[in-house]
């Protein structure tokens, strides 16, 4: 299924909305996400995992298993550096995935994993992720429900045109993606 990430949640302060879509599919072992972005800036100063990728040209996938109080966040910049954790909120019970679990997430990006100083212009780029279901559902073997609560995001906090765009709207006065109450339901195939 393809989703359009176009909710400009704070239009007075952050009106910019790069064209962003994500296609999500799954099999019995993995979720497959293909983000496609067309935007005016390109930046990737974070080259290592678990660094501040959200400051760069970044796409994000947050998900929660129905009935679980915790959720997962997967945030990836345009060169494939990633933040991934299981958490209760932005600051509570944050458990970053260890390196051995991070290495299980396959990533393919338009750009190689090398520093990109901010550039102006029109850039088209893709990020493809293959996330093992066992990282999300934690059962062995994964026995997953047909539904997930999710939100998809496009952001770039430290670029010349900072933006905080989502698939599902976020009704808060300030940017905050770590809010499961605004996740939308998707059906897995």
Sheet of 106-109: strands edge to edge? 2-4, 19-26, 30-44, 116-132, 106-109
Tell whether the model's pLDDT for residue 11 goes beyond 70.
Answer: yes
Residues linked to residue 17 through DSSP beta bridges, in sequence order:
none
Closest C-alpha to 39, from 57, 23, 60: 57
Q: How confident is the model at residue 188 (pLDDT cuts 50, 70, 90)?
A: confident
Q: How confident is the model at residue 145 (pLDDT cuts 50, 70, 90)?
A: low
Residue 189, pLDDT score: 79
Residue 183: strand, helix, or coil? coil
Residue 134: strand, helix, or coil? helix
Is the CB of residue 177 less than 8 Å from the CB of residue 14?
no
Percent of the chain surpassing pLDDT 90: 89
Q: Is residue 185 part of a domain?
A: no
Q: Is residue 65 part of a domain?
A: yes
- Domain holding 22: CATH number? 2.60.40.1190
| Domain of 145, in residue numbers | 2-179
Q: Is residue 187 part of a domain?
A: no
The number of domains in the chain is 1
Q: Is the dihedral of CA 146, 104, 24, 92 positive or negative?
A: positive
Q: Is residue 99 part of a domain?
A: yes
Q: Is residue 18 part of a domain?
A: yes
Q: Is residue 189 part of a domain?
A: no
Q: Is residue 186 part of a domain?
A: no
Q: How confident is the model at residue 142 (pLDDT cuts 50, 70, 90)?
A: low
Residue 77, pLDDT score: 98
Q: Is residue 105 part of a domain?
A: yes
Please state the pTM of the whole predicted model.
Answer: 0.95
What digits encode the pLDDT tens for the residues 44-76?
A: 999 999 999 999 999 999 999 988 999 999 999
The Cα–Cα gap between 59 and 20 comes to 9
The Cα–Cα gap between 85 and 72 comes to 6
Residues in the chain: 189
């Amino acid at each position: 299924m393809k989703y359009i990430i176009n909710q400009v949640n704070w239009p007075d302060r952050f009106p910019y909305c790069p064209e962003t879509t994500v296609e999500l599919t799954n099999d019995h072992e993995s979720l497959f996400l293909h983000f496609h972005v067309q935007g005016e800036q390109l930046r990737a100063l974070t080259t290592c995992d678990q660094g501040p990728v959200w400051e760069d040209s970044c796409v994000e996938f947050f998900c929660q298993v129905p009935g679980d109080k915790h959720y997962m966040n997967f945030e990836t910049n345009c060169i494939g550096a990633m933040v991934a954790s299981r958490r209760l909120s932005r600051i509570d019970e944050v458990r970053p995935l260890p390196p051995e679990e991070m290495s299980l997430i396959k990533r393919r990006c338009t750009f190689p994993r090398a520093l990109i100083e901010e550039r102006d212009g029109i850039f088209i780029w893709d990020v493809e992720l293959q996330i093992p279901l066992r990282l999300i559902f934690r059962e062995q073997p994964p026995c997953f429900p047909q539904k997930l609560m999710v939100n998809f995001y496009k952001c770039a906090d430290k670029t010349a045109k900072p933006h905080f765009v989502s698939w599902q709207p976020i009704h808060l006065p300030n940017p905050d993606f770590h809010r499961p109450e605004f996740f939308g339901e998707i059906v897995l195939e």
